[in-house]
Amino acid sequence: MPNNERLPHEKMRFQLVLRRRGISDQAVLRAMEGIPRELFVEASDRVYAYRDTALGIPCGQTISQPFVVAYMTEQLRLDPRHRALEIGTGSGYQAAILSRLCHEVVTLERFKTLAETARRRLAATGCDNVEVVLGDGFDVPANLGTFDRIMVTAAMEEIPKALLERLEPGGILIAPVGPHNDGQVLVRVRRGEEGYDSENLVAVRFVPALPGLAREL
64 as an active site residue: the answer is: yes
Three-state SS string over 63-105 comes to: ECCHHHHHHHHHHHCCCCCCEEEEECCCCCHHHHHHHCCCCEE
Q: Could you count the other beta carbons within 10 Å of the beta carbon of residue 168?
A: 15
Q: Is 4 exposed, middle or buried (0-12, 13-18, 19+ CB in 10 A)?
A: exposed
Question: Strand, helix or coil at 34?
Answer: helix
Q: Which of 64, 91, 99, 198 is catalytic?
A: 64
Annotated catalytic sites, by residue? 64
